[in-house]
Amino acid sequence: MFRLDEECRRQKEALHANSRNIVVDLDVVREGLGQVTVPVAAFYDRCRPLLQKSIDATEKLVEGREISALYVTGGGSELPLVARMLRDEFGRKVKRSEYTRSATAIGLAIQADSTSGYRLREMFGRNFGVWREQDAGQRMIFDPIFPSGTRLPGSGEPPLTVRRSYQPVHNIGDFRYLEASQVDDQGQPQGDIAVWDEIWFPFDPALADARSLEALSVVHSKDAEEQEAEEHYACDSAGVVTVTIRNLTSQYGREFRLGRWSGKTAVVTPRKRTRKVSN
């Protein structure tokens, strides 16, 4: 049983985001037993109820509190499913240590030697971006807004900012955000992928004051094609991403704090209206 336990532990710790099967070598337990193959999906299905208990306990702990981040460490957090379920629930607020098995020791060592000159900086561990249409809507590509390795600003520093400007072709913009560990040459996300959020913005000025856009059909719009749109992304030191989308031509906009944990509250900038005065 000890040998079986060690073999299962070794195989579990060897899992990565692209693993599809777990091959347990039973010959290390007893000669002639051969191998057993367990689909990773089946293993994760058995793990989910246990991990959900931890997530439920965490939600109860932080309920009603404003937190900047959940810092995850410990060897168990290396299981890909842990990060996936946490990010699905808490979004960018989840910070996973680069040194999961030794983070506590490293932190204590740095704290003990305050004169060492060490400075810790957070960074994007994966590519954060949004789906875009390309080739006149013939295919979708992934547009990285903050590429993997982008350093977050330090405490008190101004946020990272990125802008995108274009002329839309649809009446409504449907923005689907995600993180991906890799992006291939065809602009497709690969590897470990986590969905962040989905928001909607009215490019057609006739919809500028509409509060709910999810139920409306997205169609090509001549009125939208005459507009100039801008996306302004800002990421603070806690990794919180905010996007302000504006119709520059008709002068209105909306601000969104991204992440499923954000509540998807939009701050609306009303359209400026002109008044015609006659003598």
DSSP 45-59: HHHHHHHHHHHHHHH
Task: Check whether 196 has a pLDDT greater than 60.
Answer: yes
> How is the chain split into domains, by residue range?
2-112, 127-269
176-197 mean pLDDT: 86
Residue ranges with strand state E in 97-138:
127-134
Q: Which residues contact 241 (CB under 8 A, 6 or more apart)?
A: 92, 128, 145, 146, 233, 234, 235, 257, 258, 259
Note the pLDDT of residue 173.
Answer: 93
pLDDT tier, 212 (very low <50, low <70, confident <90, very high otherwise): confident
Task: Check whether 274 has a pLDDT greater than 60.
Answer: no
Note the pLDDT of residue 279.
Answer: 47
Which letter does DSSP use for residue 123 in this model?
Answer: B
The residue ranking higher by pLDDT, 88 or 272, is 88
Per-residue pLDDT tens digits for 133-186: 877 667 888 999 999 989 998 878 899 999 999 999 999 999 999 988 888 888
pLDDT tier, 206 (very low <50, low <70, confident <90, very high otherwise): very high
CATH number of 127-269: 2.60.34.10
121-126 mean pLDDT: 81
Output the DSSP codes for 140-208.
EEEEEEE-TTPBPPPTTSPPEEEEEEE---BSEEEEEEEEEEEE-TTS-EEEEEEEEEEEEEE-SGGGT
Percent of the chain scoring above 70 in pLDDT: 90
Task: Check whether 47 has a pLDDT greater than 80.
Answer: yes
Q: How far apart are CA 229 and CA 173, in angstroms?
A: 10
Note the pLDDT of residue 275.
Answer: 47
Q: Which contacts (CB < 8 Å, 24+ apart) does range 3-11 have?
A: 3/28, 3/29, 4/29
259-276 mean pLDDT: 59
Q: How far apart are CA 248 and CA 246, in angstroms?
A: 6
The residue ranking higher by pLDDT, 67 or 1, is 1
Helix (H, G, I), strand (E, B) or coil at 240: coil
103-129 mean pLDDT: 79
Across 7-11, 31-35, 96-100, 226-230, the highest mean pLDDT is recorded for: 226-230
Average pLDDT, the chain: 85
Per-residue pLDDT tens digits for 241-252: 999 999 999 999
6-25 mean pLDDT: 89
